[in-house]
Structure 1
Amino acid sequence: MTGSGSLNITSAIVDPALLDLPWNLPLDTWPDDSIATLPKGISRHLVRFAHLGGYVVAIKETSADIARREYELLRTLQRIDVPCVEPVAVITNRTDDDGNGLDSVLVTRHLKFSLPYRALYSQTLRPDTATRLVDALAVLLVRLHIVGFFWGDVSLSNTLFRRDAGAFAAYLVDAETGSIYETLSDGQREHDLEIARVNIAGELLDLAAGGRLDEDTDPIDVSNGIIAAYRTLWTELTGSQSFASTERWRIAERVERLNELGFDIEELAIKTDDGGSQVRIQPKVVDAGHHQRRLLRLTGLDAEENQARRLLNDLDAYRSTHVDGEVDEELAAHEWLATVFEPVVRAIPRELKGKLEPAEVFHQMLEHRWFLSQNESRDVPLAEAVSSYIDTVLRHRRDEATVIDPPTGAFTLPIAIVDEDDWRDRV
């Protein structure tokens, strides 16, 4: 390209293909052979997709200061594992062939297999699909607020959607108006929610006016539904909960709900009231993917991710209810291993030891204990749960060696305890 020597490129990646794009031309005049035709949302700036090597990038023309600020915000969000587009580069000092200045640009990588919410709502969506899209956007907004990010321009066009392991996930696209704080006040969160409510309703009303929205979709109901889903999730993640000390099974129930919502628990903060009859649980949310490493570090157990998460949940609950708060987590983990995990594994009869690996046996026993406790509304003792699990579940399994890739938790309970379909839904 002509005039490439004047460019100033800030990029976290080294991709010489950046120099091959026609930066000497205004973005709206780029040739068709550089442009990728993909659906996009409404933007206050000109945005176009372009081919860059073996992938597609989104290019937004804006001022140099705004481009640099958004680039850094996106990099920060990526580092803390918030779903957002990947920043590629900021390019400034652009000039045309006559030396006239051109707008700076922010380059981000296009998220494969994704669509803007606006494009999705332009299609006919089944009610359950529309509901899951609402939930996905609510989850994204909660995740942003938890890390202290004030979006300032929540909208359908600033959000991308794609399927994620059979579920739905939402990704932030435009961080231009955003700011990161140590924590957000309730006022800041409410302000972001009001922006979301107005913007989303407005965009859907616009689609409806153009005849591109299913007639059964009420824009106001959808907008309010996102806010309602947000409030439910926020309360579940940050609210405290009280229950009797004899109902410790509710700890596992709370953690299960959070896991199902896509969040993981690093530790549980449980406090006993003066009367000794109540405990309070306050979950702390962390990024996914660290459970195998933490379990191996604390206990030496090498387990699959879901197994590790479940074992760590039990370890943290044990530490909170059985161990002096002065004891560090390594010592607590050693005590849990010696007094909880290993006795359960040793309790398995010799003839049944080939059924499952120890971590999976313990995982399934915990699930069995949780369901028994919930079903009977009491804290089922560990020994009782182990005995019940061995007699009603483990004895009826084939050896693990005869089953290819058995799914975690893939077992059934006797009909007297639970309906099989209901149990599958729970595990």
Structure 2
Amino acid sequence: MEQLQITSATPNSALLDLPWRQPLAGWPADVLAALPRGISRHVVRFVRLDGRVLAIKETSESIAFREYEMLRQLRKLEVPSVKPVGVVTGRLSDTGEPLEAALITEHLAFSLPYRSVFSQALRDETANRLIDALAVLLVRLHLTGFFWGDVSLSNTLFRRDANQFAAYLVDAETGALHRELTPGQRDYDLELARVNIIGELMDLAAGELLDDEVDEIGIGNSLVERYTELWEALTGVEAFHTDERWRIAARIDQLNELGFDVGELSITTDIDGTTVQIQPQVVDAGHHSRRLLKLTGLDVQDNQARRLLNDLDSYQAATERQEEDEQLVAHDWLQNVFHPTIRAVPRELRRKLEPAQLYHEILDHRWFISERAQRDVPMPETVASYVENVLQHRPDEKAILGLAPGDEPEAGPEADYFHYAAADPDDDPAG
């Protein structure tokens, strides 16, 4: 007779209290967490346990262990993916019938499946931001040698990252890690992604969850274009004359601006030494987030980090401390600006957004109300306005940028803010 077995790198005895003798589809509501779920070929449920939310998926034992190990490897490689918790096997029903194994992962806080992002009939520009995020994720996976084999919006979770989104891999069931992917493997993943995305968007359109102006095929094709541009920027070979060595630094600056650090460059010259070729050999995502973490200890998404670093630079200039040690200035900014701003938001409302995203939106709101008032609005006044007109009207975990026309509040100053927040990020005056 089989016995229940829980395999986990971080064992938690509270897992034993869950109703493993029942099929997952029949688990009682009192143990479940009401969170939006994406489409899955398996039964998936969320539970609250010891202050955490866990996602539990029923599948075969071999697949559960394979995906568990794959997710552990991806986490070690610092690829954006859900955190594996464990695998439960040896499940039997009350009548002694064998039940499927269960893979347990930690729910990604402040994240949503794509169908929830589109639950308000969002616009074309929001769809493009999701595709941009997925393209970046796919490039990062391919750079590590990961072949996904099932790329889709359904197998991805999205979190806000300033005015963009950040994408996280959820389902690694079909994935495989290689030392390096062949062009054929990358092309297969990319074409599969294009076809799946078009199909998923057409499904949303059939359910009237897409704005009429959204071009499903165009968005699917744009993933290929975005991926190709980013891949070329990160791996392409650039040739120049020896008297243009400044272009090496310019190439590194370009990659930093894209959010990648350059760990290693290949630099070669031709036979007569007049032409130089450079090609990035090792690139790591998270340039801005690593810099902010080093300066302040804040661990945030890369676009959020870029925005916070810009505010830190503004603080340094405003206090005329450009010549001082940057780490000391960053400490003062953290203590005198960032933390007081977050603490000024009522505690019960802070859970609606991550602190970095909250600060980013407050900065956006400050720019907006300052422009409208034709004066520089101080931060305490900005926070009060943001809380009253924006934050308190936002539902938890579903406060999504990019609302469609007609979904904004009908009256009050917050209506204008929602329109501004939905604007193209390239138009963001705060950079």
- Structure 1 residue 304 displacement after superposition: 4.1
Give the partner amino acid of 1:15. N
Select which of 204, 209, 219 maps to 1:222. 219
Aligned residue for 1:82, secondary structure, equals coil
Alignment-derived partner of residue 326 in structure 1: none
Question: 1:356 aligns to what?
Answer: 323
Whether the 8 Å contact between 1:291 and 1:305 is mirrored in structure 2 is no
CA drift at 1:248: 2.1
Letter in 1 for 2:234: L
Quote the residue 1:159 is aligned against: 156
**For residue 246 of structure 2, what is the amino acid of its counterpart?**
W
Identity of aligned residues (%): 58
Contact 1:123–1:214, Cα closer than 8 Å, also in 2: no
Whether the aligned pair in 2 keeps the contact of 1:36 and 1:50 (CA below 8 Å) is yes
Q: Any gaps of 5 or more consecutive residues in structure 1?
A: 295-302, 307-352, 361-399, 408-421
- Alignment of structure 1 residues 4-83 onto 2, 5 Å: 6-83=3-80
**Residue matched to 1:270:** 267
Amino acid at match of 1:85: V
Contact kept, 8 Å, 1:83 with 1:172, in 2: the verdict is: yes
Structure with larger RCO (C-alpha < 8 A, sep 6+): 2
The Cα shift of 1:154 comes to: 0.5
Q: Aligned ranges for residues 284-299 of structure 1 at < 5 Å?
A: 284-287=281-284
Inter-CA distance 128–283: structure 2 relative to 1 (3 Å threshold): same
Q: Tell me the CA shift for residue 275 of structure 1.
A: 2.8
Does structure 1 conserve the Cα–Cα contact (< 8 Å) formed by 2:80 and 2:168?
yes
Contact 1:81–1:287 (CA<8 Å) still a contact in 2?
A: no
Instruction: Tell me the SS of whatever aligns to 2:167.
Output: strand
The match for 2:94 among 71, 93, 97 is: 97
Q: Secondary structure in 2 aligned to 1:99? A: coil
Shift of 1:121: 2.8
Q: Given the superposition, is the C-alpha separation of residues 184 and 174 from structure 1 closer, same or farther in structure 2, using an over 3 Å criterion?
A: same
Q: CA deviation at 1:129?
A: 3.4
Call closer, same or farther: CA 1:110–1:147 in 2, change over 3 Å: same
**1:166, 1:292 → 2: CA distance?**
15
> Which has the higher mean CA deviation after the structures are superposed, 72-81 or 241-250?
241-250
| Residue identity in the other structure for 1:268 | L
* Residue identity in the other structure for 1:140: L
Bigger mean CA deviation after superposition, 42-51 or 106-115: 42-51
1:7-406 alignment runs, 5 A limit? 7-165=4-162, 167-287=164-284, 304=295, 355-357=322-324
Letter in 1 for 2:8: S
Q: Report if aligned partners of 2:145, 2:181 keep a CA contact under 8 Å in 1.
A: yes
Q: Distance in 2 between matches of 1:212 and 1:128?
A: 14
Please tell me whether Structure 1 or Structure 2 has the larger radius of gyration of its CA atoms: 1
* 2:198 and 2:216 in contact (8 A); partners too: yes
Q: Tell me, yes or no, if the aligned pair for 1:41 and 1:118 is still in contact at 8 Å.
A: yes
Cα shift readout 1:89-145 (whole Å, capped 9, x = no counterpart)? 100000012221111010111000001123213334344433322111000001111
Deviations 1:330-352 (A, max 9, x none): xxxxxxxxxxxxxxxxxxxxxxx
Query: Any unmatched runs of 5+ in structure 2?
Result: 298-319, 338-425
| Whole-angstrom CA distance in 2 between matches of 1:258 and 1:425 | 23
Distance (whole Å) between structure 1 residues aligned to residue 224 and residue 170 of structure 2: 20
Say which is worse superposed, 35-44 or 18-27, in terms of deviation.
Answer: 35-44
Aligned residues: 316
CA distance in structure 2 between the aligned counterparts of 1:29 and 1:426, rounded to whole angstroms: 49
